[in-house]
Each structure stands twice: as structure tokens, then as C-alpha cells.
Amino acid sequence: LAKTTQPISMDSYEGQEVNITCSHNNIATNDYITWYQQFPSQGPRFIIQGYKTKVTNEVASLFIPADRKSSTLSLPRVSLSDTAVYYCLVGDENNFNKFYFGSGTKLNVKP
Amino acid sequence: DAGVIQSPRHEVTEMGQEVTLRCKPISGHDYLFWYRQTMMRGLELLIYFNNNVPIDDSGMPEDRFSAKMPNASFSTLKIQPSEPRDSAVYFCASRLGAGETQYFGPGTRLLVL
């Protein structure tokens, strides 16, 4: 089971770039790395997914080194509305019994 | 699309009572998932369906929990009898096909007294 390790919490200020790193030492060859965002009283929401190198979309970037044992979610110029819990997941989307959300990283963006 | 719909949004019940949670997945999605979220254990996958058929229920905590999906647009998660330790937020999610992302519903907040 490819579990993940993330910081429990992080603080940032509006306008800053935030980088959240996730460790996944036991990642398997078929595993993808997926990040979700969860606001209070809502279900998790997909942010970004990648397999290796770098992936970028309109919301975030995901950096994955060659050994894939870690990944970094980068949020450019955060705002107060980015305050949420961010989950790093590692797994094969075809084997859900191996999906593990963990406790996530609580990002607190201050004015 | 309205997204994944769950009902009720909040449920308060007494220990020993039967609780039924409902979920309507996004139209056309062929996978449906039930999760439970607590402070202690985080977000746990309970069971998932593919084309209305239960594929993996290894996350269901015990026999008091059961889930059904009678058709492509409806699923239920039932707890009978309920216990205080079942208090949690229960999420339903759906997705279209393999390799795609999951879309979560707003959740049902359950409190068992």
C-alpha cells in the first residue's frame, strides 16, 4: 500500500507561492500521483494528477522527480479562498482498495 | 450537470436506529464510491461499484453496514443498527470510466447519539 506523508499544516500569506511536498517512498510503477482539495463542509475536489516530471493546469503545478518517491504541489499566488486541506494520493485508479487519502495538509492563507 | 447529489445533508439519530444514506451519481458515470471521513481516521473508502455491481467492499467496517445500487442513478448506504462510533461525514463520489477523476458529493453529516 503506497501510503503518503505530508505536513499536517502550513501557513502562508496572500499572494505568495505555496509548495506542499508529499513523500511516497513505496510508489509502484503503475501508480499515479493525484492531489485533491477539500473545503470545510464539502467533498474533496480534484486539482491535478501526474505520473512524472511536471504537470501544469490553470490551478496548480505538480513537480515529480525522476525517482517519483515524492511530489510537490505548487499553488501560485494563493488567496484567502485557497485555505483548505490538500490531499496527496498515490495509486492506480483501477485499484481503489489501494487508494489512501491520509490526513492531508491544512493550508491556512492569511491576509 | 447538478453534480453528485446526496441526501440527507444532516442526520441525527439515536443509537440502535436504522440509518439510510442516499446518493445520485452524475449521469453517465459508471463508478460509484462511498467514503467515510472522521477526524481520527481521515477519509476512508468503504465500498465501490462499477456498472451497479459491488466490486470491493473490504472497507466496510462490519456487517451493520450495507450498500446497494439498484440502478445507475441511485445508491444507498445503510447502517443497522447504528452506533455512536458511526458518527462521521459520509461522502459519495462517482466517475466516468477508468483512469478518470472522482467527483464527490457534498456529504451527509451523521450524528448517532
pLDDT digits (tens, 9 = 90+) for B39-72: 888 888 899 999 999 998 988 988 999 999 999 9
Determine the Cα–Cα distance for residues A71 and A64; give it in Å rounded to an integer.
5
pLDDT digits (tens, 9 = 90+) for B1-37: 689 999 999 999 999 999 999 999 999 999 999 999 9
Q: How far is B91 from chain A (nearest CA, A)?
A: 7
Residues of chain A neighbouring B44 (CB-CB closer than 8 A): 101
Question: Using the beta-carbon criterion (under 8 Å), do A93 and B59 form an inter-chain contact?
Answer: no
Determine the Cα–Cα distance for residues A18 and A101; give it in Å rounded to an integer.
20
